[in-house]
Amino acid sequence: MSVVISPSILNCDFAHLGDELAKIANADYAHVDVMDNHFVPNLALGLPVAEAAVAASPIPVDAHLMIEDPDRWAPAYAEIGCASVTFHAEAAAAPIRLARELHAQGTRVGLALRPASAIEPYIDILPEFDMILIMTVEPGFGGQSFLESMMPKVARTRAAIENAGLETWVQVDGGISRATITQAAEAGANNFVAGSAVYRADDAYTEVEELRRLAREASHSH
């Protein structure tokens, strides 16, 4: 399964969004974190910024909606051109219906789980999703430390996907850096969201390449 690097733009300079996105042109996706100050204790980005990112980005945009009522709001992110839209299992009233609505709009669909949420209740509906996002921090703020305790959940998710014969991606988000990406890849993740690690690096482009190399090495060692 291919390694996918998705830098989060949460730590970038929004006054120069186009330039900031150009720095990660070698990544696979630009990860846009949307927070509504209800589902998570922070307010960040939203539809206008996501739309600006889609317009300015040299790579596809992956929207992660940390919001209440994604059933109502998520389709708008597909409409503005996000290539992938991820909503939280804990917030969606009708996740299957929403996944199908998003697919009908031509976008990839991800289901996100907070650290305390188990994958097991969702195993039977895995075929409805292109990606499962296992949060490796409590969602809401950038720059938090990686929760190593999530690695068994990543491994169980990967095993369930393989047992079902699916090609579903497993994304990890939170505290991903050179120090943690190998562990996440060995556990079965193939899509890595790195925010601070990329945007606080001296050279974002080089950091993306290094993260990809480390993840590929770890994936091939299995």
From the list 33, 36, 62, 130, the catalytic residue is 33
Q: Which domain holds residue 88?
A: 4-220
33 is catalytic: yes
From the list 36, 62, 130, 173, the catalytic residue is 173
Cβ(181)–Cβ(7) under 8 Å? no
What is the total count of domains within the chain? 1
Record the pTM: 0.96
* pLDDT tens over the chain, length 222 residues: 899 999 999 888 889 999 999 999 999 999 999 999 999 988 888 899 999 999 999 999 999 999 999 999 999 999 999 999 999 999 999 999 999 999 999 999 999 999 999 999 999 999 999 999 999 999 877 778 999 999 999 999 999 999 999 999 999 999 999 999 999 999 999 999 998 899 999 999 999 999 999 999 999 866
Task: Considering only the C-alpha atoms of the chain, give the largest distance between any 2 of them, rounded to a whole number of Å.
Answer: 46
36 is catalytic: no
Q: Residue 191: is it exposed, middle or buried by C-beta count within 10 angstroms (0-12/13-18/19+)?
A: buried
CATH number, domain containing residue 152: 3.20.20.70
Long-range contact list for 110-114, CB < 8 A, 24+ apart? 110/62, 110/64, 110/84, 110/85, 110/86, 110/169, 110/171, 111/86, 111/87, 112/64, 112/66, 112/86, 112/87, 112/88, 112/139, 112/173, 113/88, 113/89, 113/153, 114/88, 114/90, 114/138, 114/139
